């Protein structure tokens, strides 16, 4: 794989209104996605976040430091084409949601999962009219079919940019319930992330912290928090 990175060629990154939203300009020239589409996002705040990433680049452009831009690219280049497939894929997480699969022991972990996960699961069932139910063990247990339909409807209500952010919230946490708790404002992202790591936290308390695993988890946590910020940017008009 090539490590080639383009050099910075612009002085100023700015934003401007465009048909359908806001665009980012580099010295007055439109930023385009990898598929050569004009990068237009739904809100000024979102565009300003993208512009800040471009403005923060030094001599070489490093895409790994540009998560908001990458999310916008995914929304435009991929979700505009594969939207229905992505919605179906994400809705399927409802069949294996992290909060529904509970430990059978030890009792301390069983109790902790019930105390911390049950209230969020109850909120989701009331909020979305679902009947997701916890099961003991790791064997697959089928959920009522109407759950997936209602979950899919919620996902389908997101525009492509919100859906791209929600995708990361779901994939990183392994939980539609926690992702919806964040997108609905029921939980802040940091609290939701800690709930998604309940099992790992308990293991660390018993056996100690694995430095390599902790480093990987920290990277995922930052990506989760960033996805939550991006979801908020999609709705922040001012």
Question: Position of tokens 């995922």?
Answer: 220
**Could you tell me if residue 73 is inside a domain?**
no
- CATH at 202: 1.10.3580.10
Cα dihedral 126/127/131/132 (nearest 10): -120
Helix (H, G, I), strand (E, B) or coil at 136: strand
Task: Determine the pLDDT at residue 95.
Answer: 87
pTM over 0.85: yes
CA distance 80 to 166: 15
Please indicate, yes or no, if residue 11 is contained in any of the structural domains.
Answer: no
Give the pLDDT confidence of 120-156 residue by residue, as tens digits.
Answer: 999 999 999 888 889 887 776 677 778 889 999 999 9
Residue 28 lies in a domain: no
Residues in the chain: 238
Which residues on adjacent β-strands are paired with residue 7? 60
Domain housing 149 = 83-235
- pLDDT, position 87: 97
Does 4 score more than 60 pLDDT?
Answer: no
DSSP assignment letter at 61: -
27 within a domain of the structure (yes/no): no
pLDDT at residue 143, rounded to an integer? 73
Q: Could you give the number of structural domains in the chain?
A: 1
Tell me the percentage of the chain whose pLDDT exceeds 90: 82
In a domain, residue 194? The reply is yes
Task: Provide the pLDDT for residue 3.
Answer: 58
Q: Using alpha carbons only, how large is the chain's radius of gyration in Å?
A: 20
What residues contact 207, with CB distance under 8 A and at least 6 apart? none
Distance (Å, whole) CA 193 – CA 204: 16
* Structural domain includes residue 180: yes
Q: According to the model, what pLDDT value does residue 201 have?
A: 96
What 3 state SS string does 160-207 have?
A: HHHHHHHHHHHHHHCCHHHHHHHHCCCCCHHHHHHHHCHHHHHHHHHH
- Residue 147 falls within a domain, yes or no? yes
Q: 55 in a domain, yes or no? A: no
């Amino acid at each position: 794989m090539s490590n080639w990175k383009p050099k910075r060629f612009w002085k100023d990154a700015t934003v401007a209104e465009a048909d359908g939203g806001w665009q980012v300009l580099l010295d007055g020239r439109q930023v385009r996605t990898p598929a050569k589409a004009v990068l237009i996002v739904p809100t000024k705040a979102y565009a300003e976040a993208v512009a800040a990433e471009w403005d923060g680049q030094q001599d070489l452009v490093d895409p790994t430091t540009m998560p908001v831009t990458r999310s916008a690219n995914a929304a435009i280049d991929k979700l505009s084409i594969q939207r229905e497939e992505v919605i179906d894929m994400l809705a399927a997480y409802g069949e294996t949601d992290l909060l529904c699969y509970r430990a059978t022991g030890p009792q301390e972990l069983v109790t902790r999962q019930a105390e911390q996960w049950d209230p969020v699961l109850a909120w989701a069932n009331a909020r979305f009219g679902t009947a997701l139910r916890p099961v003991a063990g790791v064997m697959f247990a089928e959920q009522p079919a109407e759950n997936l339909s209602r979950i899919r409807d919620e996902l389908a209500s997101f525009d492509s940019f919100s859906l791209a952010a929600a995708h990361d919230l779901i994939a990183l946490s392994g939980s539609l319930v926690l992702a919806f708790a964040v997108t609905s404002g029921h939980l802040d992202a940091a609290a939701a992330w800690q709930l998604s790591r309940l099992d790992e936290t308990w293991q660390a308390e018993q056996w100690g912290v694995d430095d390599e695993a902790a480093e990987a988890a920290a990277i995922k946590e930052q990506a989760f928090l960033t996805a939550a910020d991006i979801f908020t940017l999609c709705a922040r008009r001012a």
